[in-house]
Structure formats: C-alpha cells, structure tokens
Amino acid sequence: MKQEKEKVLISACLLGENCRYDGKAKKVNGLIDLTKYYDLIPVCPEMSGGLKVPRDPSEIVKDKVLTKTGRDVTENYNSGAYWANSICQIYHIKLAILKEDSPSCGTHFIHDGLFDGKKIPGQGITTKKLVKMGIKVINENEALELLKKMSEVKNNA
C-alpha cells in the first residue's frame, strides 16, 4: 500500500496563487518539488479571514493590524490565523512554510508599521498562532534549503 505523505501547510501565494493584496502572487518555482516528499496544503490566511483581492496593504502596528488608510483589520487577521490553525489541527500538520515579511505569514521579519518599506524582526499573526500551537514555521528560503537536503539524502540512499 502506498504510504501517505506528511501534510505541510504553505502560503498559497508561494505556489502562484494571485492572493496578495496587490492581486499578484509571489511564486517560488522550486517549491513545487516539495510535492515529491510532502502533501502541500495551500492557504491564504488573509483571504480566509474575509479580505478581498486586491486589498489595501496592511501592517502590524503595536497590537493591531491596520491598513495604509488606517482601517482596523485585526479581526480579519485573527480569523485567518484561527482558520490556518484549524486546518493544521484537522490534518495533524506539524510544519508550515509561510511567506516572509507578510503581516500574516512573516516568519522572521515583518514591516515596521510605518508603511515606509522597512522591515523589522517579528512574526505575522498566523505565524505567531501556529508557533504557539507547537507547529514549526519556516520561510520560503528555508523551505528550499530543506528541499535541497532531502534531495541529497535521497540521492545518497
């Protein structure tokens, strides 16, 4: 019987889904090769939280998430995080690959809350939630590194 692959959550924009605030994707070509080892489950927490495409850019400002025009969208971000975590719990997901720098998906960096293009160390709202639930969260570059290591192991086997 064919063994089921481990399920891994991934930011949908990294696989080419046009779900970003600007209606574009952030496709990272190599990531699709992860399907050799994992069953990828794409999610976009911002859309799951009720936000549309395109939408105003948002940043984390203290304990809230605000659009560039000052609208409070914290609830949308929280519900997107809740949704992403629910999927992880349902499918027993232990690893998530999330898009760096996003106010939802940022793993190590987010924008500074001043809409000036600068980044600061921090985690997006969904990343924070998943990490709190014990899920390992890595960004797209770390995922490519992981893929490289897995390919090396496979080639040396």
Residues that bind ligand SF4 (CB under 6 A): 11-13, 19-20, 44-46, 99, 102, 104-105
Task: Write down the least CB distance from residue 95 to ligand SF4, Å.
Answer: 16
Task: Write down the least CB distance from residue 153 to ligand SF4, Å.
Answer: 28
**Looking at the DSSP assignment, which residues form a beta bridge with residue 110?**
101, 120
Number of C-beta neighbours around residue 57 at 10 A:
14
Which CB sits closer to ligand SF4, 45 or 113?
45
Question: Exposed/middle/buried for 34, CB within 10 Å: 0-12, 13-18, 19+?
Answer: buried
| DSSP state letter for 107 | S
The residues near 101 (Cβ < 8 Å, ≥ 6 apart) are 109, 110, 111, 119
Task: Write down the least CB distance from residue 35 to ligand SF4, Å.
Answer: 18
Task: Write down the least CB distance from residue 29 to ligand SF4, Å.
Answer: 16
The residues near 127 (Cβ < 8 Å, ≥ 6 apart) are 96, 98, 104, 105, 106, 107, 137
Which CB sits closer to ligand SF4, 117 or 155?
117
Q: What is the Cα–Cα distance from 79 to 115, expressed in whole angstroms? A: 23
Task: Write down the least CB distance from residue 146 to ligand SF4, Å.
Answer: 19
Which CB sits closer to ligand SF4, 104 or 147?
104
Nearest Cα residue to 28 out of 128, 122, 100: 100
Which CB sits closer to ligand SF4, 38 or 103?
103
Which CB sits closer to ligand SF4, 139 or 152?
139
